[in-house]
Amino acid sequence: MLRLSFGGSEDSTHNHVMATIYYDKDCDLGLIRARKVAVIGYGSQGHAHALNLRDSGVDVVVGLRQESASRAAAEEAGLRVLAPDEASAWANVIMMLVPDQVMGGIYAESVQSNLEPGDTLAFAHGFNVHFGEIAPPEEINVIMVAPKGPGHLLRRTYEEGSGIPCLLAVYQDPSGTGRALGLSYASAIGGGRAGILETTFKEETETDLFGEQVILCGGVSELIKASFETLVEAGYQPESAYFETLHELKLIVDLLYEGGLSWMRYSISDTAEYGDYTRGNRIITDETRKAMKEVLEEIQSGAFANEWLAQAREGAPVLHEQRAANRAHQIEDVGEELRKLMPFLDPKTAP
């Protein structure tokens, strides 16, 4: 059982020390309001951080290249936009929200020389610091505030008055204010409404990569495709297969989200529950668990990070090939047609 040294209370059933979760009452919004924050990048996370900070009364600018396609959107939203180096020089908190595979280059080119002692460099994912692509000087504070959800939901939930849980980590803290400032930042983007959990750059980076590879993105996508193909190859209508293997997944995930595995199983039929216990472990086998361990080891050793950074330097050929091939999958065409007929949906198509 993983034991973290961040304090907390005993959970008697599993003999696990429950970690402390921080909420708005534990955060002093005044700290981040007293700073000047540069958000570098205006993509999924960047737009949500910048807008939520602004609406929480924080002095924020967005750092974007002159030719950036996001510039117009940021300016239309009423945000001040500067070049990344100007934004870094102006700010004393710099949040890096550009794609991980280009972040090291942007840091070296525009941020590094504009850091001053007492400044705080912030991240929403530990990748570059943990794998050594960015090595900030000792006199700079380095923290992470990582929302556990996509940017558009970070913005939407903030506007609705709720929030997305955030992970907080302090990597180096010469000023001694890292945790308090991180809590303040997390609260300003709405994280204090849902809960802020303290972690380390190592734990966040490795668990985040593991999650997206093994279950959230890689594992789920492959289960969807394989189960869809199995049904279609057996002669069932692709539309039935789509409803069963993709559409209905949301209904099950909603139950899991609301009340865990037991609530999902309470809500489904006894037949479904019996099939779950007796068939699920024939799909996720010892071989699958072994593969999960191997995937984790590649993350921990840095082999995955090296592979991906090398790919990115060559223009990410595998990513582009796979993106095109996966978009051409039958389930995508069937799904697109069916979603048009669901008036309650606001159907989305990837650009």
Catalytic residues: 125
In this complex, which beta carbon is closest to Mg ion, that of residue 215 or of residue 284? 215
**Residue 46 is encoded by which pair of tokens?**
């960047």
In this complex, which beta carbon is closest to ligand NAD, that of residue 44 or of residue 112? 44
List the single partner that 143 binds among Mg ion, ligand NAD, none, CB under 5 to 8 Å by kind.
none
* Residue whose C-alpha is closest to residue 179's, from 158, 200, 151, 194: 200
Cβ of residue 97: shortest distance to ligand NAD, in angstroms? Answer: 4
List the single partner that 168 binds among Mg ion, ligand NAD, none, CB under 5 to 8 Å by kind.
none
List the single partner that 44 binds among Mg ion, ligand NAD, none, CB under 5 to 8 Å by kind.
ligand NAD
In this complex, which beta carbon is closest to ligand NAD, that of residue 27 or of residue 124? 124
List the single partner that 124 binds among ligand NAD, Mg ion, none, CB under 5 to 8 Å by kind.
ligand NAD
In this complex, which beta carbon is closest to ligand NAD, that of residue 43 or of residue 137? 43
In this complex, which beta carbon is closest to ligand NAD, that of residue 106 or of residue 241? 106
Stretch that binds Mg ion, among 207-215, 230-238, 263-271, 322-330 (CB under 5 A): 207-215
Neighbouring CB atoms inside 10 A of 122's CB total 26
Q: What residue number has its CB nearest to ligand NAD?
A: 43
* Residue 206 is a binding residue for Mg ion (CB under 5 A): no
List the single partner that 63 binds among ligand NAD, Mg ion, none, CB under 5 to 8 Å by kind.
none
* Residue 208 is a binding residue for Mg ion (CB under 5 A): yes
In this complex, which beta carbon is closest to Mg ion, that of residue 267 or of residue 300? 300
Cβ of residue 62: shortest distance to ligand NAD, in angstroms? Answer: 8
Cα(318)–Cα(323) distance, integer angstroms: 8
* Residue whose C-alpha is closest to residue 146's, from 90, 106, 96, 72: 96
* Binding region for ligand NAD (CB under 6 A): 41-46, 64-65, 68, 70, 97-100, 102, 106, 124-125, 146-147, 150-151
Site string for Mg ion, 155-194 (x = CB under 5 A): ----------------------------------------
Cβ of residue 246: shortest distance to Mg ion, in angstroms? Answer: 21
Cα(74)–Cα(50) distance, integer angstroms: 9
Cβ of residue 107: shortest distance to Mg ion, in angstroms? Answer: 20
CA atoms within 13 A on the CB side of 47: 18
Residue 54: Cβ-neighbour burial (10 angstroms; 0-12, 13-18, 19+): buried
The continuous run of DSSP H or E covering 142 comes out as strand 141-147
Contacts with Mg ion by CB under 5 A: the residue count is 1
Pairing mode of beta strands 80-82, 59-63: parallel
Task: Give SS3 for 25.
Answer: helix
Cα(51)–Cα(78) distance, integer angstroms: 9
Neighbouring CB atoms inside 10 A of 124's CB total 25
Overall residue count recorded for the chain in this entry: 351
Q: What residue number has its CB nearest to Mg ion?
A: 208
Cβ of residue 208: shortest distance to ligand NAD, in angstroms? Answer: 8
In this complex, which beta carbon is closest to Mg ion, that of residue 185 or of residue 210? 210
List the single partner that 182 binds among ligand NAD, Mg ion, none, CB under 5 to 8 Å by kind.
none
CA atoms within 13 A on the CB side of 213: 19
Ordered alpha helix ranges (H), the chain:
29-33, 44-55, 71-76, 84-90, 100-106, 127-130, 151-160, 178-188, 191-194, 201-211, 218-233, 238-242, 248-267, 270-283, 286-301, 303-313, 317-327, 330-340
Stretch that binds Mg ion, among 133-141, 176-184, 201-209, 218-226 (CB under 5 A): 201-209
Task: Give SS3 for 10.
Answer: strand
* Residue 119 is a binding residue for Mg ion (CB under 5 A): no
Report the interface residues with Mg ion, using CB under 5 A.
Answer: 208
